[in-house]
């Protein structure tokens, strides 16, 4: 679905970053909570333990993927009882797109690949709110081959950058995020599903969401979205609000203005162009809607974001 591409690219603010780290035992590292971010860890070599904020430690092996969609803090260590050092780095704050580092001396080796995404302030897609605080995707033979391929490509590029590495790494980081989301949805049991997981598995609601994300400027109404879903207006409105948590046109407005804010930050399109591209018939109506959502006029928002 285009929705997953939008979560990966439109919701992100600024450049992501990544780091390949070789840890030699003994080691233990605390990764801090970073509100307004999302981050991942992949075990490329060796083994280690996830030390969550609460609950028992979890053993991690080669190919395991961790994803923190809301920037929750956690620890990694060579044993489940190791003291954790204070934060070594924050990939959402570090300026380098990718780094490679070596920690420790000559003990058993674990190699991790971490990445961080700064999310647009207050605009994290509600899909991310339905994910667990820490999503663990264990490696299993034959499972999610595209995710494993993206991990291998990203790990190799970060370890030995070549010409064009910036473009390759940026694309692979976004690709990896999409594959992580795909894998999580695929691994969910068919029943029960709630929220966005249920919405994306529902052919009717999924069709309506795809239409909105494919062409947000279209003059959608509840009737035309219900037609996309193949449902009556009443049945569609009820099912959409139950699964998504808001009425169809409320979500449509939220998404249009989220796209508009992204364009204001990242392009030099005029206000009238932005308005037209997100479905507003005039700059005046767009400015009023934007101010209601963001508390400031679009022109001022652009200047503040510069």
Residue 286 has pLDDT above 60, yes or no: yes
- pLDDT, one tens digit per residue, over 170-213 is 888 888 888 998 888 888 765 556 788 889 889 999 999 999 99
Residue 62 has pLDDT above 70, yes or no: yes
Q: How far is CA 121 from CA 178, 197, 245, 272, in A?
A: 20, 24, 21, 24
**What pTM was computed for the model?**
0.83
pLDDT of residue 170: 84
* Domains in the chain, CATH or no CATH each: 2-187 (2.60.120.280), 195-245 (no CATH), 250-305 (1.10.10.60)
- pLDDT, one tens digit per residue, over 130-155 is 888 999 999 887 788 999 899 889 88
Q: In terms of Cα–Cα distance, which of 158, 264, 160, 278 is closest to 213?
A: 278
Confirm if 231 and 223 have CB atoms less than 8 A apart: no
Give the model's confidence band at 122: pLDDT under 50 very low, under 70 low, under 90 confident, else very high: low
Phi-psi region of 17 (alpha: psi -120 to 50; beta: other; left: phi over 0): beta
DSSP letter (8 states) at residue 62: T
pLDDT of residue 108: 94
* Neighbour-count burial for 85-97, b at 16+ CB within 10 Å, e otherwise: eeeebebbeeeeb
Which has the higher per-residue pLDDT, 64 or 6?
64
pLDDT of residue 97: 65
Q: In terms of Cα–Cα distance, which of 157, 136, 151 is closest to 56?
A: 136
């Amino acid at each position: 679905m285009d929705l997953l591409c939008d979560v990966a690219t439109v919701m992100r603010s600024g450049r992501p970053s990544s780091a390949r780290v070789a840890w030699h035992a003994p080691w233990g590292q605390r990764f801090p909570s970073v509100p307004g971010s999302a981050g991942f860890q992949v075990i490329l070599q060796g083994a280690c333990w996830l030390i969550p904020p609460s609950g028992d430690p979890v053993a991690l092996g080669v190919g395991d993927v961790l994803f923190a969609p809301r920037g929750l803090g956690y620890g990694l260590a060579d044993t489940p009882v190791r003291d954790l050092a204070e934060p070594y780095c924050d990939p959402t704050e570090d300026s380098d797109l990718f780094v490679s580092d070596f920690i420790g001396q000559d003990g058993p080796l674990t190699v991790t690949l971490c990445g961080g995404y700064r999310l647009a302030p207050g605009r994290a897609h509600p899909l991310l709110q339905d994910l667990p605080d820490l999503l663990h995707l264990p490696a299993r033979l034959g499972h999610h081959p595209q995710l494993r391929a993206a991990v291998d490509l990203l790990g190799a590029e970060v370890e030995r950058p070549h010409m064009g590495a910036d473009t390759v790494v940026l694309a692979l980081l976004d690709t990896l995020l999409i594959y992580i989301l795909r894998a999580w949805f695929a691994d969910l049991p068919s029943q029960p599903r709630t929220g966005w997981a249920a919405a994306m598995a529902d052919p009717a609601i999924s069709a309506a969401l795809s239409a909105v994300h494919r062409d947000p400027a279209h003059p959608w109404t509840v009737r035309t979205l219900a037609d996309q879903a193949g449902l009556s207006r009443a049945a569609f409105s009820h099912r959409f609000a139950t699964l998504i948590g808001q009425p169809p046109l409320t979500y449509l407005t939220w998404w249009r203005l989220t796209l508009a804010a992204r364009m204001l930050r990242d392009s030099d399109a005029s206000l009238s162009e932005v308005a037209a591209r997100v479905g507003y018939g005039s700059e005046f109506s767009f400015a009023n809607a934007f101010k209601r959502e963001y508390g400031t006029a679009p022109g001022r928002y652009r200047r503040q974001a510069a």
